[in-house]
Amino acid sequence: MPSTDFKDYYKILGVSKSASETEVKQVFRKLARKYHPDMNPGDKAAEAKFKEINEAYEVLSDPDKRRKYDQFGQYWNQAGGSASGFDFDFGQYGSFDDFINELLGRFSGGFGSGASTSTERSYSYRTSTSSSPGFGFQDFSGFNSPGLSADSEADLRLTFSEALNGVEKRLTIGGTETITVRIPPGTKPESRIRVKGKGQMNPLTQSRGDLYLKIKLDAHPFFKFDQDNILCELPITPDEAVLGGQIDVPTLTGTVRMNIPAGIKSGQALRLRGKGWPRAKGGASDLVVKIQITPPPDLSAAERELYEQLAHLRRFNPRTNLPKL
């Protein structure tokens, strides 16, 4: 860079050479808000100033670039510290979020995806973005807002048993970094596990965000979630429904014997307290057992004869009170 083209980044931001990283960031926020093109529509001078302060902040917010800039002055770029520049055509962005996504994309590098196995999986992570409607400049008032977050999110699929008992998972980020994540026992579906410092790089703060793993559970053939409780459907025979009795019921912690009241109806629910999903603070939710009266698919000759005798002797008609037109 010729000496005549040398830019005094400290002067551009209006800070001293001893300014801390926090001071540089605070001043940049103020200037970026003042000169952003959306706040100065059609003002080419403001647009040029905005690009200039972005370029200055890119250098002064990076410890390595700032050190070379301080050491070599106008020749700092020959020392391997040249800025990538902020040559933005603001007309190509539909909103400020689009501009920020482009800015983040230049520096974050992103996470790659790869093949997964039962013990080690690779993930492609989603960068958190602001969900606030419209373009509102309030999204730019602070760089810790959701729209500039370097936190990332990925789905992590577990079996029912893994979520119930806890498990350690090895995950590969971007095909190069392998981490081990401990999933605590009793993790519920749609809950999020935070892995500190394993998100994407924030180009403005030069620090990594956090990784949030959103838990997804494979379907279980017998148990399923019913809000905080666990639900299952228990088939019983017609004679068990009529006479009642004791029936063994599978639970998450083993088989228990449950009393079936005589005359129970199909679809009626019974509750086993404390036999559901474990709670973080101790104890467990309930297991809700939904009764399904199931007739035998095949009858022996003796069974059929007895059912025919029962039909002949039966006095109860469940359709007596049906409405008539």
Give the model confidence (pLDDT) of 257-278 as tens digits. 999 999 999 999 999 999 999 9
How far from 31 is each of 14, 23, 52, 83, CA to CA, in Å?
10, 12, 11, 19
Average confidence (pLDDT) over 273-292:
94
**DSSP line for 143-190:** TTSGGG---EEEEEEE-HHHHHH-EEEEEEETTTEEEEEEEPTTPPTT
Judged against a pLDDT cut of 80, whether residue 66 lies above it is answered with yes
Tell me what the pLDDT averaged over the chain comes to. 78
Contact 287, 232 (CB under 8 A): yes
Amino acid identity at 67:
R
For the record, the structure tokens of 183 come out as: 């999933």
How far from 218 is each of 14, 124, 212, 233, 234, CA to CA, in Å?
56, 20, 19, 18, 21
For the record, the structure tokens of 9 come out as: 């980044």
Judged against a pLDDT cut of 80, whether residue 109 lies above it is answered with no
Q: How confident is the model at residue 298 (pLDDT cuts 50, 70, 90)?
A: very high
Determine what percent of the chain is predicted with pLDDT higher than 90.
Answer: 42
Top-level CATH class of 3-92? mainly alpha
Decide yes or no: CATH 2.60.260.20 for domain 224-296: yes
Judged against a pLDDT cut of 60, whether residue 142 lies above it is answered with no
- The two domains 3-92 and 224-296 share their CATH topology (first three levels equal): no
**Domain boundaries of the chain, sorted by first residue:** 3-92, 120-132+143-217, 224-296
Specify the higher pLDDT residue, 84 or 11: 11
Contact 132, 149 (CB under 8 A): no
- CB under 8 Å to 302, separation ≥6 — which residues? none
Tracing tokens 């086993």 back to the chain, one arrives at 272
Which fold, 120-132+143-217? HSP40/DNAj peptide-binding domain (2.60.260)
Give the span between the Cα atoms of 283 and 27, in whole angstroms: 52
User: What's the pLDDT at 39?
Assistant: 79
Tell which residue, 27, 33, 85, 24, has the closest CA to residue 54: 85
Amino acid identity at 200:
Q
Q: How confident is the model at residue 129 (pLDDT cuts 50, 70, 90)?
A: very low
Candidate from 1-15, 181-195, 258-272, 291-305 with smallest mean pLDDT: 1-15
